[in-house]
Amino acid sequence: MIKIFKKYTRLFIVIGIVLIISNISNLKTIPKKVYDYEVVIHRDKWGVPHIYGNTDEDVAYGLAYSHAEDDFDTIFEILLASRGISASINGKESAP
pLDDT tens for the chain, 96 residues long, are 556 666 678 778 888 787 777 777 666 666 777 788 999 999 999 999 999 999 999 999 999 999 999 999 999 999 988 888 888 888 888 766
Per CATH, is 29-94 categorized as 3.50.50.60? no
pTM score: 0.57
Number of C-beta neighbours around residue 60 at 10 A: 14
Number of C-beta neighbours around residue 62 at 10 A: 20
Cα–Cα dist 80/70, whole Å: 18
Measure CA 90 to chain center. Answer: 21
Number of H helices, E strands in the chain: 3, 2
Contact assessment for residue 52 and residue 42, using Cβ atoms and an 8 Å cutoff:
yes
